[in-house]
Structure 1
Amino acid sequence: MLDALESEIHFIKSLKPTICLEIGSGSGIVLTGLAKCLGSCCAYYFNIDINPRAAQLRLERVDFVEEQSCHVIPQVMSPSGVFYLLIVKENDEEDILNVMKSFSWRSSVIIERKAGREFLKVLKFECVKMQTSVND
């Protein structure tokens, strides 16, 4: 995930973000790396993670968490906000893309690779309304 964000760092800086939030932060290495790259460009950095006991249920809950996040994020994001989502092969990518499209968010794949036994993909979402107004 960190290398995907590093490849996007100029774009992220151009947005002049006020808040960077990492959901499912684990050790916090991604948010720490992002903070080092952005420096004082961003005013606030936050991370959220589920408790350790819930982490054991991660595989059974992944669809629930994914579904809830995809419905909430567009409602709380700035119209010029961007978010990146790390998914594994077992996630329902098509469903995620359809939900986000229904909220007028455009998606693109930043990076995909195999890491050990997992197939990982980083998706980028941008509000289509923001893109339209920028280009007009």
Structure 2
Amino acid sequence: MIPTPDLSHLSTSDYRNIYEPSEDTFLLLDALEADEKQLKELNPSVCLEIGSGSGCVTTFLGCLLKPNQPYMITTDINPLAAVATVMTGKKNGVSIDTVQTSLVTNLLPRLHNSVDVLCFNPPYAVTPSEEIGGQGIEASWAGGVDGREVIDTMLPFVKELLSEKGIFYLLLISENKPAEVIELLQGDGFNAHICLQRLAGREKQFIVKVQR
């Protein structure tokens, strides 16, 4: 069993500005751990997390893949999250490069079809569209109509990023209409299915696993 990364360097005041790991984070960690054998056999060279927040997911993935250490890169529009991600990696012995940017802006064509493991716990909450676009804590949850506006902006980039052997893990909730998202990904030629799901209070969460 891979332990949850040590986040003791982050305080309550930090979590006023960056997303604190919660049930959705832990569901994504569980999906990665369930695929530990497959991920190690994949022997990834590049792992990318979009919207890294505290850095918990990428750090966990880096620990899971040890002793091999792929190139771990993350993005987050929130500058405080970018700093926290690097700190979390260092605290747990995982080297992480982070880019403060929106989604994957400036990563293409550099990472074209080069990402072997892609993770995205998106801002999925149903909100007014006007709440999207900030660079603070609201960027971690404001998803617009059906909680899908940021997700739908990201989906076309998956085929540009994912390597031939790559795996994409995407977290969704019921309001995001997972069946529609899976259909969109299948329309791009991917094999996509729900690999894990859990009820967190009233919120039903899903991990969609995507491969070519």
TM-score class, shorter-chain normalisation, is 0.7 to 0.9
Displacement of 1:47 in angstroms is 1.5
CA distance in 2, matches of 1:123, 1:56: 19
Which segment drifts farther, 74-83 or 56-65?
A: 56-65
1:39 to 63, 66, 69: 66
TM-score scaled by length of structure 2: 0.55
Q: Secondary structure at the match of 1:58?
A: coil
2:155 to 67, 70, 88: 70
The 1:98–1:39 alpha-carbon spacing in structure 2 relative to 1, beyond 3 Å, is same
Which segment drifts farther, 22-31 or 56-65?
A: 56-65
| Paired residue type of 2:49 | E
1:110 to 195, 201, 208: 195
CA distance in 1, matches of 2:62, 2:157: 24
- For 1:92, the equivalent position in structure 2 comes to 177
Could you report, residue by residue, the CA deviation over 1:9-48 in whole angstroms, capped at 9, with x for unpaired residues? 1101111111111112211111111110102434211122
The gaps in structure 2 that reach 5 residues or longer are 1-27, 78-134
CA RMSD of aligned residues (A): 1.8
Does the aligned pair in 2 maintain the 1:16–1:42 contact within 8 Å?
no
- Identity across matched positions, percent: 31
CA distance in 2, matches of 1:42, 1:83: 18
Does the aligned pair in 1 maintain the 2:51–2:140 contact within 8 Å?
no
- For 1:132, the equivalent position in structure 2 comes to none
CA distance in 2, matches of 1:92, 1:125: 16
Q: Which has the higher helix share?
A: 1
TM-score scaled by length of structure 1: 0.83
Q: Is residue 12 of structure 1 aligned with residue 96 of structure 2? A: no
| Paired residue type of 1:79 | E
- For 1:133, the equivalent position in structure 2 comes to none
Structure 1 runs (4+) greater than 6 angstroms displaced: none
| Paired residue type of 1:99 | L
| Paired residue type of 1:18 | S
- For 2:164, the equivalent position in structure 1 comes to 79
The 1:90–1:105 alpha-carbon spacing in structure 2 relative to 1, beyond 3 Å, is same
- For 1:59, the equivalent position in structure 2 comes to 143
Larger radius of gyration: 2
